[in-house]
Amino acid sequence: MSLLHIITVPDPVLKQTAHSIENISAQIKQQAADMIETMYEAPGIGLAANQIGVLNRMFVMDTNYRKEKTSRNPIVMINPEIVWKSEELSVMEEGCLSIPQQYADVERPKSVRVKYINLNGEIVEFVGEDLASHCIQHELDHLNGILFIDYLSRLKRNMILRKVEKMKKDGIVL
């Protein structure tokens, strides 16, 4: 396994839609393993393929590890799609490895049911609530070329982008 480079705004790949994965090859399995290692090292609770510059519809997540400081239990979601969203909404502070050190409140459905393919090629349904729901929606947004800052006002979004550019200029973020 190896650590991957996480791209940051304003890289145009982050605004592109990822393509469906047709075959779960050894290369896809290796990419998933590398993404998991990279996510934990960052550290983060989710990482979409777009964030490593690859336009595959796949993301990895592990919300329990960060939240409860338990052992690692990563989930790999290939070709995920949300099949149900709760009407109840929740607001949570979100951040993003591709928008380093920047956070903002985002309102999303409190619960979602997502259907995806796992690394064994099996179709799985998973219900995410609270943090898991936000993480699933955030990572799935990445696969559709949407960033959490796209939910913010133009003023707030531009402030965040300027902060990231300044950090890059100052050598704080690569």
Give Cα 107 to chain centroid, integer Å. Answer: 16
Instruction: Report pLDDT for 69.
Output: 63
Instruction: Report pLDDT for 66.
Output: 57
Instruction: Report pLDDT for 151.
Output: 97
Low-confidence ranges of the chain (pLDDT < 70): 65-70, 174
Which numeric CATH code is attached to 12-169?
Answer: 3.90.45.10
pTM: 0.94
Domain ranges of the chain: 12-169
pLDDT digits (tens, 9 = 90+) for 55-106: 999 999 999 865 556 678 899 999 999 999 999 999 999 999 999 999 999 9
Instruction: Report pLDDT for 16.
Output: 98
Catalytic entry in 68, 87, 93, 139: 139
CA distance linking residue 107 with residue 110, whole number of Å: 9
Residue 125 among the catalytic residues: no
